[in-house]
Amino acid sequence: MTTSDTEPPVPDHFASRSGTGIAVQDVAKRFGAVQALGGVSLEFRPGRVTALMGENGAGKSTLLKILTGDHQPTQGRILLDGRPVAFGSPHDARKAGVRIIPQEPEIIPHVSVAENVYVGSLPRNAWRRLDRAELHRRIATDLARLGFDKVIDPDELGSRLTAAQRQMVEILRALIGEAKVIAFDEPTSSLAEHEVEALFTLIGRLRAQGIAIIYVSHRMKEIFRLADRVAVLRDGTVAGVLEAADISEGEVVRLMVGRDLSTLFVRQDVAGDEVVLALDGVTTDDVTGIDLTIRAGEVVALAGLIGAGRSELARAIAGDLPIRSGEIRLNGKPLNLRTPKDAIRAGIGLAPEERKAQALFLQRSIRDNTSLVSLERLRRLRFVKRRDERAVAQEFTDRLRVRTPSIEQEIGKLSGGNQQKVVLARWLIRRPKVLILDEPTRGIDIGAKAEIYRIIADLARQGVALLVISSELPEVLGLADRIAVMQNGRITGELDRAEATEEAILNLAMTDDLTAATTAVPDRPRTDPADGGLR
């Protein structure tokens, strides 16, 4: 996104809006035996931001796909400006002015920004070939009109865009033409703080111009900052619709999960005296002189700003980045970690930040993904013992309460929280001595978070040494026995649970050049799920 002094203006042609927005009446959707939505009635009004909330699996994605033509309802109807409409495809919804900016931007890597923006409606010449001159004229005009001309290169390849630029392309797609309704699905999950601020400014301007905004997020602070109304789905039905000014975070959580989660974090004191993992002066290309210990049953959190080096340190411990100097010891014995397989065999596991890209084979089954790093234990000669594989996958998906009809279910069809549980199940089968969890609850709902926290507490009770990386300070404070804070590739201080506060963490995390710290973009790990999520 752009910085505050280059925030994109909303084009003049959005200045007047009429109509009553978009609404669903008694909409239901069934997939075979699964009832995804049951009689949902909601309206999304022009010039208002409606936060659509609910646990993973509550029906939010299904409702958005019905509104944008990806799915057709089993029953009920959609009204646009008071008139019934039927969207047979996303193209129909887009023509009617209903747009979605997905959580994971759909960017074609080998074509330019301009071609990505106009995909599906590229100008053609008399020979039906791409009219590049007309394409450049259109993109130049629209970039200038929308205020993006100084912050994105229309000739840049999709593969070279940053996460923020990829999302900018999706916003450009949504704003080209006449938009009446725009849905944002977890739009800030990959943005730095200044980019989030620019996005919020843009949403405010769109609201002022009369566009109906649907905002999906699990981040409560965002919801209460942006939303006029909060609509909560639970188990495919409407649990409540309330004005944001009249509701508290606790009430939203109770509507989402049907219970009070005041005991969200399981506080315990089970850490022993035995040091399981010790880092002594560990230095890589990204971190310098790291000294850190984790005892059996201890939860140590790594806090810091984006680009501080937390994920890079995790990758070094997991054998994915070379160590230039220093030493890693496991139970007192030095390790020589050349590859992730070395770390796995030693008893170190890593659940990486981007589970879909770094840890999972999305087209394979839960069984395949669960047993991935334990196949050598499930082999007889050169063949995997399928009965044993099914048994162990079933045992751990049951133990972690993975919501699925079968362990043969394609994992890409699970919610984010259930996918994360499968990643954890993979490591529980290995019985690791050390488990590193990088942003373990990113993009999952409050109920699934509570279950992940329970799993972390269970692992600590079993004596596993846990290193948790999180950008959510309440999570850091709620989980950790001890907090190590990083900035610019170094640990600047450690805080015990009793002395840790948000202010104390931020004081250790801040650098002299705050702008550089908050705008740095972390390197994306090289990934291979067969190595537990690393290559």
Estimate to the nearest angstrom the gap between the alpha carbon of 286 and the chain centroid: 24
113 and 99 share a domain?
A: no
SS3 content of the chain, % helix, strand, coil (to 5): 35, 25, 40
Phi then psi for residue 46, to 5 deg, are: -60, 140
CB 147 within 8 A of CB 7: yes
CB 347 within 8 A of CB 522: no
pLDDT of residue 464: 94
320 and 310 share a domain?
A: yes
Is 263 inside any structural domain?
no
Is 402 inside any structural domain?
yes
DSSP letters spanning 290-342: EEEEEETT-EEEEEE-TTSSHHHHHHHHTTSS---EEEEEETTEE---SSHHH
293 and 314 share a domain?
A: yes
pLDDT of residue 192: 66
pLDDT of residue 513: 41
Is 81 inside any structural domain?
yes
pLDDT of residue 380: 66
Which residue, chain included where needed, has tokens 């290995």? 430
Phi then psi for residue 113, to 5 deg, are: -55, -45
Is 20 inside any structural domain?
yes
Is 269 inside any structural domain?
no
DSSP-assigned beta bridge partners for residue 233: 238
Shortest CA distance to 242 belongs to which of 250, 232, 233, 234?
232
Q: Amino acid identity, residue 423? A: V
Q: What is the pLDDT along the chain (535 residues), one digit of tens a residue?
A: 433 333 333 333 333 344 679 999 999 998 877 788 999 999 999 999 999 998 767 889 899 999 999 999 999 999 999 999 999 999 899 899 999 988 777 889 999 999 999 887 888 988 888 899 999 999 988 887 766 777 788 999 988 887 777 877 888 888 877 889 999 988 877 666 777 787 888 888 889 889 999 999 888 888 999 999 999 998 899 999 999 999 888 888 888 877 665 567 777 788 888 999 999 999 999 999 999 999 999 999 999 877 789 999 999 999 999 999 999 999 999 999 999 999 999 999 998 887 777 778 888 888 888 887 776 666 666 776 778 778 888 888 888 888 888 888 888 888 778 888 888 888 888 889 999 999 888 777 777 788 889 889 999 999 999 999 998 888 899 899 999 999 989 999 999 998 998 888 888 887 544 333 333 333 334 445 556 554 4
Query: Number of folded domains in the chain?
Result: 3
Euclidean distance between CA atoms 44 and 231, whole angstroms: 10
pLDDT of residue 515: 38
pLDDT of residue 15: 35
pLDDT of residue 17: 45
pLDDT of residue 198: 74
CB 181 within 8 A of CB 47: no
pLDDT of residue 443: 72
Q: Using CB atoms within 10 A of its CB, is residue 233 exposed (0-12), middle (13-18) or buried (19+)?
A: buried
73 and 210 share a domain?
A: yes
pLDDT of residue 310: 93
Is 267 inside any structural domain?
no
pLDDT of residue 483: 96
Other C-beta atoms closer than 10 Å to the C-beta of 183 total: 25
CATH code of residue 511: 3.40.50.300
11 and 55 share a domain?
A: yes
64 and 213 share a domain?
A: yes
Is 167 inside any structural domain?
no
Is 355 inside any structural domain?
yes
Shortest CA distance to 261 belongs to which of 274, 270, 269, 249?
249
471 and 505 share a domain?
A: yes
Structural domain that includes position 128 = 108-160
Kindly provide the residue ranges of all beta strands, DSSP E only, lying in 336-488, ordered along the sequence.
348-351, 379-380, 383-384, 434-438, 465-469, 482-487
For residue 49, what is the enclosing H or E element? strand 49-53
Euclidean distance between CA atoms 325 and 343, whole angstroms: 17
149 and 183 share a domain?
A: no
Shortest CA distance to 456 belongs to which of 218, 344, 297?
297
pLDDT of residue 533: 59
DSSP-assigned beta bridge partners for residue 212: 181
44 and 100 share a domain?
A: yes
Euclidean distance between CA atoms 6 and 362, whole angstroms: 38
pLDDT of residue 375: 64
Shortest CA distance to 254 belongs to which of 403, 62, 446?
446
Shortest CA distance to 60 belongs to which of 76, 71, 45?
71
100 and 118 share a domain?
A: no
253 and 352 share a domain?
A: no
78 and 200 share a domain?
A: yes
pLDDT of residue 47: 94
Q: Amino acid identity, residue 273? A: D
User: What does the block give as tokens for 392?
Assistant: 């162990």
Euclidean distance between CA atoms 171 and 102, whole angstroms: 10
